[in-house]
Amino acid sequence: MQMKPYRIGTRGSRLALAQASETRDRLMAAHNLPEEAFEIVVLSTKGDRITDRALSDIGGKGLFTEEIEEQLSDGRLDLAVHSSKDMPSVLPDGLGLVAFLEREDIRDAFIGRAGPRLEDLPRNAVVGSSSLRRQALIRRLRPDISVIIFRGQVETRLRKLDEGVADATLLAHAGLKRLGYTEVITELLDPERFPPAPGQGAICIEARLDDAHTAELLAPINHPATHAALMCERAFLGALDGSCRTPIAAHATISGDRVSFYGLILTPDGTVWHETRASGAVSEASALGAEAGAEVRGRAGASFFDSWV
């Protein structure tokens, strides 16, 4: 093992720090290393600093990773910890997602003030969300509801809700569990009618692809089933050029040596959608996701994607 501490890059939110700490603790246990063998390096990203505009208007998911990936690429960091659902489908040259911790709950959590469930909200209620997927799914289920942009850390969004800026909001159940905020949840949404974002609930670890030493370090904490499922979902995302400007849902599950996949694309207003299901061998998970993306793209037709620009 190297003498200097392994440097773990992360954003500075409470959730990001919790995920980086969980990764460090797992590495300590896997290799019988002391806490001093790791240094958590907190970086401010452009996505964290700009909170008054939708991500789709200022550059998408990459704004949460640019500064971290720059230091990862030039060797100032050894690895970086992210929420998988926040990762763009295309990463910088030389970097890759090399490990995934075991996936948490994939469901979206509804936090209602004017009603405990999405279906209980009064007509013309206001729901705050920064996710185009969530916005489109809300509009598909409740076209009467007004959806407004809700950005910021979990605590910020909950405060906005208490201040009456919106009647309800949605957050990932996994993130609320990691922060110990499950008591605020008023409904867990059924993934059959409200499917998750690709990668939702999974912590991923990014590293340099030519860094065999770090790959060896991470191997014991990688969860193979989560890894395979995420490769399938991210391949679907990649086939559709998925970003924060695109309402895409995807969920892959692993049973033995088989992978089952569900994918959904919507127009931002939630009025038109196309879904796909596929299954195959786990060893072909990435190819299966890519083929599902190509299939649904072809079925939707070129005009469907005009609204995604």
Active site residues: 86
Please enumerate in sequence order all residues whose Cβ is within 8 A of that of 254, keeping only pairs 6 or more positions apart, or say none. Answer: 225, 228, 229, 282
In 3-state terms, what secondary structure has residue 6? strand
Quickly tell me which residue has 């704004």 as its tokens. 63
**DSSP assignment letter at 114:** S
- 83, containing H or E segment: strand 79-83
CB distance 9 to 71 below 8 Å = yes
**DSSP assignment letter at 214:** H
In angstroms, how far apart are the furthest CA atoms of the chain? 61
**DSSP assignment letter at 45:** -
Q: How far apart are CA 127 and CA 206, in angstroms?
A: 33
Helix, strand, coil in percent for the chain, rounding step 5: 40, 25, 35
CB distance 87 to 95 below 8 Å = no
Residue from 250, 225, 224 nearest 237 by CA: 250
CB distance 267 to 307 below 8 Å = yes
